Structure 1
Amino acid sequence: MKKKNYTTNRTTKVSSPAKPKIYTVKESTQLLPFLLDTLSQLSRNSVKSILARGQVTVNSQPTTAYNYELEPGYLVSIHQEKVTSAPPLIGMTILFEDEDIVVIQKEHGLLSVSAGQENEITAYRQLMSHVRTENPNQRIFIVHRLDRDTSGVMLFAKSEKVQQILQNSWQDIVKERSYVALVDGEVKKQEGTITSWLKESSTLKMYSSPYPNDGQHAVTHYKKMESNKFFSLLEVHLETGRKNQIRVHMQDIGHPVAGDKKYGSKSKEIGRLGLHARILAFEHPTTGAMMRFETDIPKVFLKPFRAGSSK
C-alpha cells in the first residue's frame, strides 16, 4: 500500500516560520543514531547541537534526549529554531500523531469532550490547543468517545474529511477493539457472548430492553483472564459500540463493572471504574497502513488477585 509522504509542514501561511523537515521512522532505533543517519551530510557535533538546542520533535513533542526510543511510523521533525513547548497535557498521553489523526491514552477521570461546562478540561480541548501551537488554523474532530471514568486508547481526526471516513466506515476500518474489565464477583463461565437491545431511559441511563428489536442491537464478547470469589478480570471485545454497552451487559449477567455504582456495583476497592480500553487496531484512513495500539492493564485492576490481598 502506498504510504503518504510527510515531507512538508501543515502550516501554509506565508508569515509562518521556516518549515521543519519531517522524516518517518522505518525501524526501531534511538533518536541520536537516527539523526546521524538521516543528517549524514552534517558532522556528529552539529547533529548533537541541533538536538541539544531543542530543534527536534518526535510526534510533535519536543525532546533533547539522545536515547529517545523510536518505533516504526514515528515522525521526527527538525526545526530551524528552538521549538516552543506545547502546554503540558493533563490526564492524557499522545501515542501517535500525523497529518490526519491523533491517538491518545486517556486516564480515568478526564472527559473526552465537554458536557456543557465551558471551562472543564477535556481531551478534545487539550488536543485543540496542542495542534494549534504549530498551526493556528488546525482543528481536532471527535471520532468516538470514552466515558469520563473509563481509561484507554482514543482516536481523533485532524480534518472533517478524515472524521467522516472513520465514522462512516468504523466497522470495516477498526480491526480490533479490546477492553479489560474488572467486575464484581466470580464469573463462572470461561467465555461468553452477551446480546441485547439497548435503550436510554428518561434519566439518561442505558438498559437492555426485554423485547426483541426494541432499541439498538448490542453484542459483547468476553473471556475470563483471572478471578476469585470477589472479582473477575475479563478481556472484552465489542462487536457493536453502543453507549455504556459493556457496563450494561456486565450488569445483565450479574457482574457489574467494579466501582460502577450507576449500574449496580457495590465494590469500592479500586477507587475508580474498572474499565480500560486496552487495544485499538485500525486501518489508517488515508494510507491504509495497519495501526495497532496496545496499552498496559492498569495495575490497580490486578491488585485484587495479588497474594495476600482480600476484599
Structure 2
Amino acid sequence: MKKWQYNFIITSQNSGQSVKELLIKWYVPQRIRGALRIKKHFSVNNTIVPTNYELRTGDQLQLNFDADDFRTSESNYLPNHQKSVNIIFENEDLVVVDKPAGMKMHPHSPTETDTLLNYLAGEFIQREVSDQPYMVHRIDRATSGLVIVAKNPLVVPILDRMLADKQITRTYVAWVSGVVQANHGTITAPIGIDASDDRKRAVDGKEAQAAVTHWWRMHTVFYSSLLRVQLSTGRMHQIRVHLASIGHPIVGDELYGGVHNDRMLLHSASIKITLPFDKGVRMITGPLPIDFPRQLR
C-alpha cells in the first residue's frame, strides 16, 4: 500500500495550538483527521501524542497517510511523453501549469492520453519521482493559461476548501466584442444547464447555481474591449456565459455568440494562492501566449 509522509518543524506562528487545532487550520478534512487519530499516524518529536497535545516552537510534527485514508488515492492518468508541459510554479504539494489553448485538461475515457494531466503524468515519470497529477480545478479546452494541479491526494481536499473559502484568487484577461462603457462591474446571475443544448450553460438555466464574476475594463480598441476578470465561484463556462449575458461575448467564443477568431481570447493570467501548510502567499503569473493579442484589430 502506498504511503505519504509529512514532516514539519513547528514555528512560533503555530506554537500554542493543539495538533487538532493546527490540522483544522490547515484545512485537513475531518475524515482524514479521524484516520490519523485512529491509526495513531502522527507523532511529535518521534512520540505518539494525543490530538490535544499543545505544540511548541521547534517541535517536530510527523504525519503519515495510507492510500485508504483518501477517497481517491491514485490519479491513474496514462502517462504521455509526447509533449512537455510549461510549469510556472512548483513546490512539494502542487504545480501551476500554463495550459495552451486547444489542449484538454483531463481525459474523459480511461484510454484517452492527449490531455494536460496525461502529459504531466509523463513529466513526473521522467523525473523518477512518486508524484502524480490530481485535478483541483479546470479551465476550458479553448482557454489558455494557469491552472493548479495537486501532486498528492492529501492536498486535493485542502485546495478544494481553499477555493471555496476564497483563499485562491484566479484572474483572467478576455477580449470581448463591443465598447464596454463602465470601468467595473459584477455579474451575479445564476448559471445552469441550457434547456436546448446540454453542452452549454445559460443564465437561469436548469439546476441553476449561484455565480459571481467581477470585471474591470482595461482598454477599448476598434469596438472590442480588453477586460480583467476575477471569479468568486467556479461554474462551468462561467466567464463565457456571464460576459455574453451582458452583451459582450468573448472574441472567438462562437458557442456563446462571439465573433469568429482563430482561438477564443480568454486567458488565465494569474493565480494568488495561500500555499498549504503555512508556506506563505504567492502571486503566480505567466506570460501572455503569442496567439493572444495585446492590441486587437
TM-score normalised by L of structure 1? 0.64
SS in 2 for 1:169: helix
Aligned residues, how many?
Answer: 219
Counterpart AA for 2:203: S
Between the aligned partners of 1:282 and 1:207, the Cα distance in structure 2 is 29
Q: Give the superposed CA RMSD.
A: 2.5
Q: Which residue of 2 aligns with 1:98?
A: 91
Identity of aligned residues (%): 32
CA shift for structure 1 position 210:
7.5
Q: Aligned pair 1:207/2:198, yes or no?
A: no
Pair 1:146-2:139 in alignment? yes
Q: For 2:223 and 2:256, how far apart are their aligned partners in 1?
A: 17
1:76-130 Cα distance to aligned partner (Å, 9 max, x none)? xxxxxxxxxx94644x301122321111111111111013373441110111121
Cα distance in 2 for residues equivalent to 1:144 and 1:118: 21
- How much has 1:134 moved relative to structure 2? 3.7
Contact 1:184/1:267 (8 A) holds in 2: no
Instruction: Tell me which amino acid in the other structure corresponds to 1:196.
Output: A
Which residue is 2:176 aligned to? Answer: 183
Any gaps of 5 or more consecutive residues in structure 1? 6-85
Q: Does 1:219 align with 2:239?
A: no
State the Cα distance separating 1:283 from its structure 2 match. 1.1
**Partner of 2:76 in structure 1?**
none
1:114 to 100, 107, 111: 107
Q: 1:249 aligns with which of 242, 247, 259?
A: 242
Amino acid corresponding to residue 240 of structure 1 in structure 2: T
Secondary structure of the equivalent of 1:204? coil
Matches within 5 A, 1:276-287: 276-287=267-278
Cα distance in 1 for partners of 2:146, 2:234 equals 14
The alpha carbon displacement at 1:300 in A equals: 4.2
Match of 2:266 among 275, 283, 306: 275
Say whether 1:289 aligns with 2:280: yes
CA contact (8 A) 2:102 2:141 kept: yes
Structure 1 segments (4+ residues) deviating >6 Å: none
1:247-279 Cα offsets, whole Å, 9 max, x none, are 0011101110000000011232xx101100001
Give the AA of the match of 2:275.
H
TM-superposed deviation, 1:304: 4.1
- 1:159 equivalent in structure 2: 152
* Cα 1:134–1:185 shift into 2, 3 Å: same
Distance 1:291 1:166 in 2: 14
What whole-Å deviation, never above 9, does each CA across 1:226-260 have from its counterpart, x for those lacking one?
Answer: 11343110001111111110000111011100000
Q: 1:156 to 1:172 in 2, by over 3 A?
A: same
What is the rounded CA distance, in whole Å, between the counterparts of 1:173 and 1:273 in structure 2?
A: 27
Distance in structure 2 (CA, Å) of the matches to 1:281 and 1:100: 16
Structure 2 spans left out of the alignment, 5+ residues: 1-6, 10-79
The one-character-per-residue Cα deviations of 1:149-188 (angstroms, maximum 9, x if unpaired) are: 1011111111111111111231336342110011112111
Contact 1:182-1:301 within 8 A present in 2 as well: no
TM score, norm. by length of structure 2: 0.67
Q: Give the CA deviation at 1:281.
A: 0.9
